[in-house]
Structure 1
Amino acid sequence: MKIEEGKVVTLEFKVYNKDNGDLLEDTQDVGPFFYIQGFGNFVPAIEEALEGQEKGYTTTIELTPEEGYGDYDEELIIEMDRSEFTEFEDIYEGLDFIADMDDDSEQSFVITNIEDDVITADGNHPFSGKNLKFDVVVSDVREATEEEIEHGHAHFHGFED
């Protein structure tokens, strides 16, 4: 089955910082990645590179920040008061959370520092501002279910080797 719009793609990959060779993420550690092709759930340049390919396809894809996760934006580093975290049982560095922004959008943040009652959080993707190299293996391609299409994202159904 070919990768095309509306197909669920299962990937195994390693992501490296292309400039220094550091391994940033390995799906062997976190589990395979699933997305629906053409639904904007993954990096567009990678979806484009995989279009028309099939299970078993392997490739290396290099991305600039513009092609990947964007430039690092200093304005996405914010300071918040501890009182804004009353709904959290535990607050710690590395905690990720979703914040409502002034323009009614939502933004993902990660706490990077806690000092007394001041919480510093970063809304940049961990890969933003980096030149990246993805070593990719297509583990599976399948039809998306009606529910997945309706929800706009893939659901875990397992996959065959």
Structure 2
Amino acid sequence: MTNRTITMSYVLRDFNSKSTLEQSPQPIKFITGLGQIMPKLEEEVLALSDGDKKIITILAKDAAGEYDASAIKSIPKEEFAGIDLKEGMELFGEGENGQTVRVVVKAIGDDEVMVDFNHPFAGMDLEFDIEVIENRQANENEVKTGMPDGVVHSCGCGDHDDDHECCGGHHHDEDHECCGGNGCGCH
């Protein structure tokens, strides 16, 4: 079902370890059918009504995908000119197809930088502890713009800074992205 505006809060955990990966400090808003969150998560949330709470498990293959060791690449260090590189830092850029690409710096050599193109949650089964605050038909303006009312940036992105990517108006820890959608560079 498309064109529903969902407002929800969530806690995202690694299903196996139960460690918290991400949490919405304030409710997030998105419009269904636009790829703003993981398709399996959207499917589950669509079935919920205002005030409903549910724990939703999404297997790695339906979440961020399986971990792909071949996604670790060596890139000439000169391509990072002007960046104070540190192991573990996330970098965002534009890929060949124009999509936002996120990499994690794995190692820094004299001439090469090893970067990991895998999503931070690749290979993880995920558990979302969801509370739906509102599930309603998107209004005409929301359908036209693809943004819920009251959200400043496209795809539900709220404030963000140079080191973090955010969607739904919340900040992320330095190693995480938004509930797995693909709007605003969230994958």
User: In which range does the TM-score fall when normalised by the shorter chain?
Assistant: 0.7 to 0.9
- The CA RMSD measured in Å over matched residues stands at 2.6
1:73 shift after superposition: 0.9
Counterpart CA distance in 2 for 1:155 and 1:22 is: 25
User: Any conservation in 1 of the 2:34–2:146 contact (CA below 8 Å)?
Assistant: no
Please state how far the C-alpha of 1:60 moved relative to its aligned partner.
0.4
CA drift of 1:99 comes to 4.2
**Where in structure 1 do 4 or more consecutive aligned residues deviate above 4 Å?**
155-158
Q: Name the counterpart of 2:43.
A: 48
Partner of 1:148: 146
- Given that 1:97 and 1:110 are in contact with CA atoms closer than 8 Å, whether structure 2 keeps it comes out as no
Structure 1 residue ranges without an equivalent (≥5): none
> Is the 1:11–1:139 contact (alpha carbons within 8 Å) kept by the matching residues of 2?
yes
- CA deviation after TM superposition for structure 1 residue 155, in Å: 5.3
Aligned 1:70-81 pairs, distance under 5 A? 70-81=65-76
Greater radius of gyration (CA): 1
| CA displacement 1:29-50 (0-9 Å, x = unmatched) | xx54332211122111111111
Contact 2:75 2:114 in 1 (8 A): yes
Displacement of 1:85 in angstroms is 1.7
- Shift in Å, 1:56: 1.9
Q: TM-score, normalised by structure 2?
A: 0.67
* Whole-angstrom distance in 2 between the partners of 1:154 and 1:7: 13
Q: Please list every run of 5 or more consecutive structure 2 residues that lacks an aligned counterpart in the other structure.
A: 148-152, 159-167, 170-187
1:11 maps onto 2:8 in alignment: yes
How far apart are the structure 2 equivalents of 1:37 and 1:55?
15
Identity %: 26
Match of 2:173 in 1: none
Summarize deviations over 1:94-136 as a string: whole Å, max 9, x none: 12212424xx353322223223332121111111101111101
Aligned equivalents of 2:156, 2:3: Cα separation in 1: 10
2-side partners of 1:57 and 1:152: how far apart? 27
Alpha-carbon distance between aligned partners in 2 of 1:52 and 1:97, rounded to the nearest angstrom: 34
Report the Cα offset of residue 152 of structure 1. Answer: 6.8
Q: Taking structure 1 as reference, are residues 32 and 126 closer, same or farther at Cα in structure 2, changes over 3 Å only?
A: farther
How far has the Cα of 1:20 moved from its partner? 1.6
